[in-house]
C-alpha cells in the first residue's frame, strides 16, 4: 500500500538541499525528518544520506507524499560534479548560515569548502559545530580568508590541476604552522574557525607572494618553519633547495645588516 500524501507540502527554494527541504516538509506536517522518512518507507534515518545519491524509487516515494514531481525531488540533490568539485564538497554539513538555519533552511552551496558567505542573505557562514560566532576573529583575517575562498572556488572550477595544487600546498603550509595534522581538505572544514580561516587566508597569501619567499621574509627560518616547509613542499625538491639557498644567503647577510642598523 502506498503511503498517504502528507496534509501539507512546501515549495522548494532555489539551491535548497534535499535534506533541508525534507526537514521543512516534516516540520510543516508536525513531525521530524526521521519520522517522515519512516512514513515514506525509506530506509534511512537522516535526509543527509540522500543529498548525494537518491535512487529513482526513493525520489518517486518522496514526490508522491509531497505531491511534487519526482524531478523536483532529484533537482534538490547534488548534480554530477567534476572530481575536483566533488573533492571540495563536504559530505556532511560543516558550516551554515545562522540566520537561514533559524528558519530551518539548508542550501547546497554551504557544502562547498570554498563557500564563505550565504548567497541567500549575505551573512558569513559559520562552523556548524563551532561556537556561535561571537569569538574574537580579526577583520583582517576574515578579509583575507574571503579572498582565499574566492581563489579556491576559481581553482576548483578551472580546467587544469595547477591552481588547486598551489592552493592545497598553501593550506598544507598553514596547517603546519598551526600544528594541525591530517588532510588539507579536513583542515578547511575544521570546526575551529581560527584554523579554517587561517588556511583559506594562506591561499590568498600564496597567490600574492610566492609561498616559500613569504615564509622566509615573515619569519627567520627556524626548525619549526623548516618542518612546515618540508611538509608543504616535500614533493618539490627544487623549491626546497631554493628555500635553503635563500635562507643561507639571508643568514650570511644578517650579521652585517644588524650591525649597520645599530649605527
Residues lying near Zn ion in the complex (CB under 5 A) are found at 97, 99-100, 118, 120-121, 123
Minimum distance between the CB of residue 145 and Zn ion, rounded to whole angstroms? 18
Minimum distance between the CB of residue 113 and Zn ion, rounded to whole angstroms? 18
Q: Which is nearer to Zn ion, 86 or 121 (by Cβ)? A: 121
Q: Which residues contact 174 (CB under 8 A, 6 or more apart)?
A: 187, 198, 199, 201, 202
Minimum distance between the CB of residue 122 and Zn ion, rounded to whole angstroms? 7
Minimum distance between the CB of residue 108 and Zn ion, rounded to whole angstroms? 13
Question: Cell 539551491 identifies what position?
Answer: 15
Q: Grid coordinates standing for 221?
A: 627560518
Could you tell me if 175 and 184 are in contact, meaning their C-beta atoms sit under 8 angstroms apart?
yes
Question: Cell 618540508 identifies what position?
Answer: 230
Minimum distance between the CB of residue 105 and Zn ion, rounded to whole angstroms? 7
Q: Which is nearer to Zn ion, 57 or 121 (by Cβ)? A: 121
Q: Which residues contact 240 (CB under 8 A, 6 or more apart)?
A: 229, 230, 233, 234
Q: What is the DSSP letter of 158?
A: S
Q: Which is nearer to Zn ion, 82 or 99 (by Cβ)? A: 99
* Coil, helix or strand at residue 69: coil
Q: Chain-centre distance of CA 143, in angstroms?
A: 16
Q: Which is nearer to Zn ion, 107 or 173 (by Cβ)? A: 107
Q: Which is nearer to Zn ion, 87 or 121 (by Cβ)? A: 121
Q: Grid coordinates standing for 100?
A: 537561514
Amino acid at each position: 500500500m502506498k503511503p498517504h500524501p502528507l496534509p501539507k507540502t512546501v515549495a522548494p527554494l532555489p539551491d535548497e538541499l534535499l535534506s533541508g527541504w525534507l526537514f521543512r516538509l516534516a516540520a510543516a506536517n508536525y513531525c521530524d525528518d526521521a519520522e517522515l522518512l519512516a512514513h515514506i518507507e525509506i530506509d534511512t534515518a537522516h535526509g543527509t544520506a540522500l543529498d548525494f545519491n537518491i535512487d529513482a524509487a526513493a525520489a518517486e516515494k518522496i514526490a508522491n507524499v509531497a505531491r511534487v514531481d519526482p524531478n523536483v525531488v532529484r533537482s534538490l540533490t547534488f548534480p554530477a560534479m567534476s572530481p575536483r568539485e566533488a573533492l571540495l564538497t563536504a559530505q556532511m554539513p560543516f558550516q551554515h548560515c545562522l540566520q537561514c538555519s533559524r528558519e530551518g533552511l539548508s542550501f547546497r552551496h554551504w557544502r562547498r569548502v570554498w563557500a564563505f558567505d550565504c548567497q541567500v542573505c549575505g551573512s558569513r557562514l559559520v562552523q556548524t559545530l563551532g561556537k556561535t560566532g561571537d569569538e574574537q576573529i580579526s577583520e583582517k583575517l576574515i578579509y583575507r580568508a574571503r579572498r582565499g575562498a574566492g581563489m579556491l572556488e576559481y581553482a576548483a572550477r578551472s580546467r587544469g590541476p595547477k591552481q588547486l595544487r598551489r592552493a592545497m600546498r598553501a593550506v598544507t603550509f598553514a596547517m603546519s604552522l598551526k600544528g594541525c595534522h591530517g588532510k588539507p581538505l579536513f583542515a578547511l572544514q575544521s570546526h575551529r574557525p581560527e584554523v579554517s580561516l587561517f588556511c583559506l587566508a594562506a591561499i590568498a597569501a600564496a597567490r600574492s607572494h610566492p609561498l616559500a619567499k613569504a615564509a622566509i621574509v615573515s619569519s627567520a627560518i627556524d626548525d619549526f618553519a623548516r618542518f612546515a616547509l618540508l611538509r608543504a613542499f616535500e614533493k618539490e625538491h627544487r623549491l626546497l633547495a631554493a628555500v635553503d639557498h635563500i635562507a643561507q644567503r639571508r643568514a650570511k647577510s644578517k650579521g652585517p645588516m644588524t650591525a649597520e642598523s645599530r649605527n
